[in-house]
């Protein structure tokens, strides 16, 4: 795992690598070790600067939150766009399959629950992709932004499908309101995802 992060972090500058090293609770152990090794090899950093944060000297909660937000935007790239597009495509495929298999067989409210669970699963996949790529967890607000990108891809697909379908009935004037509803749904999904992750951490099932 460390070797994987070494390859990914080679393009990071000295300040970014030191930020990883001094905020170890935000990153996977392999990411922290990779940052330390690259600082020693490529940036001629002295050993006194390679001391990771101790429990007594850990940043405050607000500082960690700000660091995570900055880290998200600093490392934002086409990878986030493509991973969100992949997740959106997977969700659309699974939603289409579920409707083909169950529509007319089970009640509409059960189909709605299946749709919700698929959205939730898509968001969890988003978080897993992000952690594997960057070596750190995605907190609430940056997770919400990432999921909003995914949901926007889904929304665009559904809008195009609506206007191409002879049975489509969504008018242009309702697009802003429907998009706002989608954002509220994305906010709720992300909040629920963070709650599940908190429970998994409490129960020591932390995987993403």
The predicted-structure confidence for 136-178, as pLDDT tens digits, reads as follows: 788 898 899 999 999 999 999 988 888 887 776 667 777 888 8
Res 54: pLDDT: 40
CA angle 144, 150, 151 (to 5 degrees): 85
Long-range contacts at 60-65 (CB < 8 A, ≥ 24 apart): 64/23, 64/25, 64/26, 65/139
Res 55: pLDDT: 40
Instruction: Name the range with the highest mean pLDDT among 19-23, 27-31, 49-53, 127-131.
Output: 127-131
Pair 133, 146: CB distance under 8 Å:
no
Residues β-bridged to residue 21: none
The residue-averaged pLDDT of 5-18 equals 80
- pLDDT: is 26 or 184 the higher one? 184
Res 69: pLDDT: 57
The residue-averaged pLDDT of 94-101 equals 87
Lowest mean pLDDT among 39-43, 100-104, 163-167: 39-43
Res 56: pLDDT: 39
Q: Which residue has the tokens 């600082």?
A: 39
The predicted-structure confidence for 106-143, as pLDDT tens digits, reads as follows: 888 888 899 899 999 999 998 988 888 777 788 898 89
The predicted-structure confidence for 176-204, as pLDDT tens digits, reads as follows: 888 999 899 999 999 999 999 888 888 87
The predicted-structure confidence for 62-86, as pLDDT tens digits, reads as follows: 545 555 556 677 778 888 898 899 9
Give the pLDDT band (50/70/90) at residue 205.
confident
Mean of per-residue pLDDT scores for the chain: 80
Whether the per-residue pLDDT at 47 is higher than 90: the answer is no
């Amino acid at each position: 795992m460390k070797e994987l992060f070494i390859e990914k972090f080679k393009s990071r500058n000295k300040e970014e690598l030191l930020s990883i090293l001094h905020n170890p609770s935000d990153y996977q152990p392999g990411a922290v070790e990779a940052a330390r090794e690259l600082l020693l090899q490529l940036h001629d950093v002295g050993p006194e600067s390679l001391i990771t944060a101790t429990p007594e000297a850990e940043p405050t909660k607000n500082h960690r939150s700000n660091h995570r937000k900055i880290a998200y935007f600093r490392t934002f790239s086409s990878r986030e766009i493509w991973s969100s597009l992949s997740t959106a495509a997977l969700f659309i495929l699974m939603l289409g399959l579920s409707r083909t298999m169950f529509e007319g067989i089970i009640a509409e409210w059960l189909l709605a629950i299946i749709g919700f669970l698929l959205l939730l699963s898509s968001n969890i996949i988003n978080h897993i992709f992000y952690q594997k790529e960057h070596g750190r967890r995605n907190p609430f607000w940056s997770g919400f932004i990432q999921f909003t990108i995914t949901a926007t891809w889904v929304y665009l697909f559904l809008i195009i499908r609506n206007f191409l379908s002879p049975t489509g009935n969504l008018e242009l004037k309702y697009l802003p309101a429907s998009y706002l509803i989608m954002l509220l749904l994305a906010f709720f999904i992300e909040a629920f995802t963070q709650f599940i992750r908190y429970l998994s951490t409490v129960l020591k099932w932390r995987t993403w």
